[in-house]
Amino acid sequence: MLHFLANISCSGMERLLKKCQIRNQLIRECMAECLGVYVLILFGCGSVAQVVTTEDKKGQYLSINLGFALGVTFGVFVSRGVSGAHLNPAVSLSLCVLGRHSWVKLPFYIFFQVLGAFLAAATVALQYYDAIQAYSGGDLTVTGPTATAGIFSTYPADYLSVWGGIVDQVIGTAALLLCVLALGDHRNSSIPHYLQPVLVGAAVLVIGISMGSNSGYALNPARDFGPRLFTYIAGWGADVFKAGSSWWWVPIVAPCVGALLGTLIYELMVEVHHPSEQSQSQASCPEDRSDKVGVELEGVEADREKPT
């Protein structure tokens, strides 16, 4: 009976879609990472575009914080069942260093994360084309009173030195990883998987609220470089790489350092000291590791690694 109903609901459309099924695990993961970062940047940069082009009339700094926070939440919801929702090369790198993600996959993940951010920046530029033209008078600039490059990637505040910027990005990304690892550590606070995207979004929100003013809390090489590349191509020109004393490399390098630092702090202050209990006692390297890895981590890796 149920089978019968199911067949009915199986429309022509559904059957058509089914023909497009891809079974290669890596391609699926790359598409999911790409779509996840796409959603993150679409909402994040979109909220900046709204605030900038309406001159704070239809939004404020807090709405930008909310835009990126909920962008992360929905980016994770869109991709985590498939790729584990890293959405950030610095996170992928940390996981590789910890031995929780495959080094071989790393370049693929990074490429598709940057690609997703690039495509999202293009979409935001398309959606806000009229608004950007009206606001900037058609002149796409990186600095000055009607600068619009800041919609897409981050630029440092005037007062910020390069070292200050590096410190800012290292601390910010370390704080992010600290929160994300705590949320995923099932021997500290075992949080249901469906709440983790929301709480990771909350972590991004509070970082934006408390660490956003120095240089725009990129915390993520893909989030910054993809849209920067888009602005370089789309008419803002080479200034996007020159502005802020060639700021562009800081949100690429510093988040990687910060991610590793944050990982180290959480591991050394909390996680490695958890007593190995009953079920964990036979192996010094716990087998239920995969349960623990949480949101940004490769949660379902073990299953995926198995031949299908």
For its own copies, which is the closer residue by CB, 126 or 238? 126
**Per-residue contact flags (x/-) with its own copies for residues 8 to 47, judged by CB under 8 A:** -xxxxxxx-xx-xxxx----x--xx-xx---x--xxxxxx
For its own copies, which is the closer residue by CB, 23 or 238? 23
Asked if 279 is part of the footprint of its own copies (rule: CB under 8 A), the reply reads: no
Asked if 154 is part of the footprint of its own copies (rule: CB under 8 A), the reply reads: no
Asked if 7 is part of the footprint of its own copies (rule: CB under 8 A), the reply reads: yes
Asked if 233 is part of the footprint of its own copies (rule: CB under 8 A), the reply reads: no
Least distance to its own copies from the beta carbon of 210, Å?
Answer: 3
What is the rounded CA–CA span in Å between residue 173 and residue 218?
A: 9
**Positive or negative, the Cα torsion across 181, 182, 186, 191?**
negative
- Phi, psi (degrees; rounded to nearest 5) at 97: -60, -40
Find the binder of its own copies among 129, 233, 245, 281 (CB under 8 A): 129
Asked if 144 is part of the footprint of its own copies (rule: CB under 8 A), the reply reads: no
Find the binder of its own copies among 138, 278, 284, 307 (CB under 8 A): 284
Centroid of chain to Cα 79: 11
Asked if 109 is part of the footprint of its own copies (rule: CB under 8 A), the reply reads: no
For its own copies, which is the closer residue by CB, 167 or 253? 167
Q: For residues 167-226, which are near its own copies according to CB under 8 A?
A: 167-168, 171-172, 175, 178-179, 182-183, 185, 187-195, 197-199, 202-203, 205-207, 209-214
Asked if 78 is part of the footprint of its own copies (rule: CB under 8 A), the reply reads: yes
Asked if 136 is part of the footprint of its own copies (rule: CB under 8 A), the reply reads: no
Least distance to its own copies from the beta carbon of 238, Å?
Answer: 26
For its own copies, which is the closer residue by CB, 237 or 291? 291
What is the rounded CA–CA span in Å between residue 125 and residue 152?
A: 9
The closest of 240, 44, 52, 238 to 155, measured between CA atoms, is 240
Least distance to its own copies from the beta carbon of 167, Å?
Answer: 6
Task: For residue 233, give both structure tokens.
Answer: 């191509």
Rg (CA), the chain: 21
Centroid of chain to Cα 72: 6
Task: For residue 81, give both structure tokens.
Answer: 């069942």
Query: Measured between alpha carbons, how far is residue 121 from residues 49, 62, 117, 157 in Å?
Result: 10, 21, 6, 22
User: If you ran DSSP here, which 8-state letter would residue 166 be given?
Assistant: H
User: Any idea which residue has 């200034």 for tokens?
Assistant: 239
For its own copies, which is the closer residue by CB, 238 or 278? 278
Count, residues near its own copies per rule CB under 8 A: 129
Asked if 250 is part of the footprint of its own copies (rule: CB under 8 A), the reply reads: no
Task: For residue 218, give both structure tokens.
Answer: 């990129």
Buried b / exposed e along 27-44 (16+ C-beta atoms within 10 A): eebbbbbbbbbbbbbbbb
For its own copies, which is the closer residue by CB, 46 or 89? 46
Asked if 134 is part of the footprint of its own copies (rule: CB under 8 A), the reply reads: yes
**Positive or negative, the Cα torsion across 236, 237, 238, 241?**
positive
* Burial grade of 271 (CB within 10 A; 0-12, 13-18, 19 or more): middle
For its own copies, which is the closer residue by CB, 257 or 270? 270
